[in-house]
Structure 1
Amino acid sequence: MQFSFYSKLLGSLALLGSVLTLQSNIAHAQANVANYPSKTVKMIVPLTPGSGADIAGRIVGKSLTEIWKQPVIVENRPGAGGLIGTGVVVNSDSDGYTLLVQSASYAANPAIYKKLPYDLKSLTDVSILGTSPYALVVSAESPYKSIKDLVDAAKAQPGNIPFASAGVGSSTHLAAEYFNQTMGIKMLHVPYKGSPEAIQETIAGRTAYYMAPLQTAIGQIQGGKVRVLGLTSATRSEIAADIPTIAEQGFPNFEIGLWVGVWAPSATPKGILQKINTDINKALQEPEVKTAYAKAGITIKLMNLAETEKFVRSEINKYSKIAKDAGIEPQ
């Protein structure tokens, strides 16, 4: 009888200890959310400096530094179409202090690689920083003066004329493949380390064209170093109202855009994810951010966590279809 009493007492104490531990953990987690961020936040951009994601990330990061009263550092980790930098975030602590800032390449990669070095479920969608069209650019000295000129040349030499991208599996790669597919042409893909390199090679005439993010190419466009044959948006851009869209040149359904998003390790507390999303949306409405975005040709897209997740899933499906229809074999 006495043994039974002590056994029950020990069981009750163990249960009480578990409850107290749970309450302590909950309180600790709530404190972490309330105090976030309490130190430097690192944004990993898995692309080169000057890329679309890098530009948007630095603009928003500067504003978040002021909102959070903590440093927000942008760190470039390019390579393998963004896979290297993405892997850094996947393997980081799930505390909200290491975030991924990536372009639509995040959605394009699964369509190109048979096996990613990480599971998509290892990351969770946090926010969309903005969208912009691609500008199909050729060298200012290029013989191609229109979309028709480029398409006619490609049809005359199927598979021989090169086009540039910011890397295998990047969004610029699949945007170009979508263009080639729509036009019924075959061209030779030449991947580079990032957008700056792809643009320079196109300026030099070593590739026929590059599907450049508008914010990346705007300086070369305004400086007369490249010629834009068309934008990939449905309507003209405010920052480049004199440049026609590809759609208005006889391809009314042609539309594909670049976007930049933010991700965090999937085990990051929901409260921290919500705070990051809310504060990014707050930053996007700051006058300085709006002005910088306007100059770069970036359109603001305010989305909550659920809307962001829905958008990213739809983009993954879209790029998968583009790759399949283009006959791209996963590597």
Structure 2
Amino acid sequence: MVRNLGNRPTCKCAIARGARAFDYTANNQTQHGGSAMIRTSLAAAATLALGTTAFVVATVGASAQNFPSKPIKILVGFPAGGPSDVPARLIATKMQAALGQPVVVENKTGAAGMIALKDLLAQPRDGHTLLLCSYIDAINPSIFKKVDYKLDDIVPVSLIQKAYYAIAVPTASPANDLKGFVAHAKANPGKLNYGRVGTGSVTEVVPRQFEKTAGIAMTGVTFRGTGPALQEVVANRLDFMVGPLSLTMPLLQGQKLKVIAMTSPQRIASAPSVPTMREQGVNIVSEGWWGVCAASGTPAPVLEAVNKQVVAAVNSADFKTPIEKTGVIAGATSLADAAKIWKETAAEAEKLYKEIGFQKVD
């Protein structure tokens, strides 16, 4: 690990800068006839540069070896018991047992998760403060006119889970699939509605994509939570709702609503009889993902150490079993893959929101 860091281009550049600085001095001395001093200065430059490089490598190596040197905090930007909080606590339990240091979860709710993210960026960049991040953090810059962070401020350490969504309609609806819903909507122009929870969320974006693709129009109704919105579907007062499997599947199993499509690329194992939107000729795939993030500037060896712990936790039965019971798919990634998904999510959101005519909000 230390040797690899020592061979990185940054270290070579440091040596080059040091040599050039001393070359300038040596050339001044040559004008006075000091050729021996040139060799001495160059040797001093090389020694100093190598010594500096060794010091940097040793310092970084020591930071990784000493990690963690104090309790670790995992910030969660949403309430306890939610899809961000539950996995955070499962991971904290596994990490604490493995590392021998307390790992605590702290909920800092509000502003679509941005309060917790802002707190992360205010802490030392040493890996002892982490964030249970999600796709929401990657798409917030596409939703809000002003955010208090840049995408490059965040380093995704690993993804931990992903989830797809179900399209729910009332049991009284004449629609049993997307084609049937489109026919129902066209027979009742402007009369059907859909539920949305949070501006720019999947509950708003997927219906608006569907409207544009199918050539229909619905009215958005805002709710404070997905649960209350789904209860309106059950009561036949809401015609269309995009909901997480953890909330929709129990209602489907209880025959309190119908699920006419999934937003997944393939059929979901927990609901194999429900076709995807793609299968029904509507090219929409929508997923949400969650992960563990750190602030940029955290030493690479520390990021690798955290990634190792998160991957081990996510791959454990203690994490997978309770998480996958809710219809969520557990899975960890490498640092590189997490970074790629983070950037792709942000870019895709920016493009999609422009396509559906979404206006950023204050």
Q: Report the TM range for the smaller structure's normalisation.
A: 0.7 to 0.9
Q: Compute the displacement of 1:233 (Å).
A: 0.9
How far apart in 2 are the matches of 1:200 and 1:274? 44
Q: Deviations over 1:145-189 (max 9, x none)?
A: 432343344445556643223311334433443333333333333
1:36 aligned onto 2:67: yes
CA contact (8 A) 1:160 1:188 kept: yes
How far apart in 1 are the matches of 2:96 and 2:270? 27
Q: Compute the displacement of 1:219 (Å).
A: 3.7
Question: More deviation in 291-300 or 171-180?
Answer: 171-180
Partner of 2:316: 286
Question: More deviation in 242-251 or 195-204?
Answer: 195-204
1:137 aligned onto 2:168: yes
| 1:306 partner SS | helix
Q: Compute the displacement of 1:309 (Å).
A: 0.8
Pick aligned residue for 1:263 from 293, 298, 301: 293
Matched to 2:164, the amino acid is P
Pick aligned residue for 1:118 from 145, 149, 161: 149
Partner of 2:269: 238
1:140/1:119 Cα in 2 relative to 1: closer, same or farther (>3 Å)? same
Partner of 1:162: 193
CA contact (8 A) 2:138 2:345 kept: yes
1:305 aligned onto 2:355: no
- Unaligned 5+ residue runs, structure 2? 1-46
| 1:275 partner SS | helix
CA contact (8 A) 1:47 1:53 kept: yes
Question: More deviation in 20-29 or 254-263?
Answer: 20-29
CA contact (8 A) 2:315 2:331 kept: no
How far apart in 2 are the matches of 1:204 and 1:77? 34
1:223/1:48 Cα in 2 relative to 1: closer, same or farther (>3 Å)? farther
| 1:283 partner SS | helix
| 1:264 partner SS | strand
How far apart in 2 are the matches of 1:271 and 1:146? 50
How far apart in 1 are the matches of 2:212 and 2:73? 38
Matched to 1:124, the amino acid is V
Q: Compute the displacement of 1:200 (Å).
A: 4.3
Asked which structure has the greater CA Rg, the reply is 2
Pick aligned residue for 2:84 from 40, 53, 56: 53
Partner of 1:108: 139
The count of residues paired between Structure 1 and Structure 2 equals 315
Partner of 1:94: 125
The structure showing larger relative contact order (alpha-carbon pairs under 8 Å, at least 6 residues apart) is 1
Q: Compute the displacement of 1:110 (Å).
A: 1.7
Q: TM-score, normalised by structure 1?
A: 0.80
1:193/1:87 Cα in 2 relative to 1: closer, same or farther (>3 Å)? farther
1:95/1:84 Cα in 2 relative to 1: closer, same or farther (>3 Å)? same
How far apart in 1 are the matches of 2:171 and 2:96? 39
CA contact (8 A) 1:228 1:243 kept: yes
| 2:211 partner SS | helix
Q: Compute the displacement of 1:117 (Å).
A: 2.3
CA contact (8 A) 2:145 2:360 kept: yes
How far apart in 1 are the matches of 2:86 and 2:255? 21
Matches within 5 A, 1:217-256: 217-251=248-282, 253-256=283-286
Partner of 1:75: 106
CA contact (8 A) 2:87 2:319 kept: no
Partner of 1:12: none
Question: More deviation in 92-101 or 75-84?
Answer: 75-84
- Unaligned 5+ residue runs, structure 1? 1-15
Matched to 2:91, the amino acid is V
Q: Let me know the Cα RMSD of the aligned residues.
A: 3.2
Instruction: State the identity %.
Output: 32
CA contact (8 A) 2:252 2:258 kept: yes
How far apart in 1 are the matches of 2:110 and 2:187? 34
CA contact (8 A) 2:193 2:221 kept: yes
